[in-house]
Amino acid sequence: MFNLIPKDDVFFGLFEKSAANAQDTANALVEMLERFDDVAARTRRIHELEHVGDELTHETIERLNQTFITPIDREDIHELACRIDDIVDLIDRAVDRIGLFKIEKPIVEAKELAVCVQRGTQLIRDMIPHLRKMKDPQGVRRMVLEVHRLESEADRIEHNALAKLFEPPADPIHVIKWMSIIETLEEATDRCEDVANIIEGIILKNG
């Protein structure tokens, strides 16, 4: 049975583990697309990381449901845990489609989007520890703005990718496959932006 009044570091520790797992997943994605060797093994590794993320999210929500007093708003704990998990889920979905569609070689824009997700998760991992003391809102704000910039960059990359895919003579099957993967990777950058906004909001409310 969990304590009704937990130590302050319980939820924060889980957030830090989840953020680290998200970064590990993004790193594995970048390495997979750059090397594109032993894709099956690399896919299994990302599936394993996704499972770790699910377990961390489940533990966070289970503790939340059994805790009477929380160090920050309950809604913020739930939302932050779920949105970090979304990042990992989207990476896993993109990788799953790479295998499902029997992709032989990644396009440049997929690699670029993967790097945007990687940088976004690194910034999130850097921001999360600030929740423990609710200090340095300006420093957090600078990181949030960088995540926003990365999301805008991802939008541009997605636009360029779609424009290239539809250049004649376009192969409809090739277009459908890569549209699905590209849109999923871009969505992962959207979730990075959501997480950054949530963190900043928590610090502003509790600082």
% of the chain surpassing 90 pLDDT: 88
The CATH superfamily assigned to 9-206 is Phosphate transport system protein phou homolog 2; domain 2 (1.20.58.220)
- The pLDDT of 189-200, averaged and rounded, is 98
3-state helix, strand, coil in the chain (%, to 5): 80, 0, 20
Both tokens of residue 72?
A: 């920050």
Looking at the predicted structure, is the pLDDT value of residue 136 above 90? no
- The pLDDT of 175-181, averaged and rounded, is 97
DSSP for 49-116, please give it.
HHHHHHHHHHHHHHHHHT-SS-SS-HHHHHHHHHHHHHHHHHHHHHHHHHHHTT-SS--HHHHHHHHH
Q: Which position has the higher pLDDT, 186 or 8?
A: 186
pTM value > 0.85: yes
**Domain locations in the chain?**
9-206
pLDDT tens string 10-30: 999 999 999 999 999 999 999
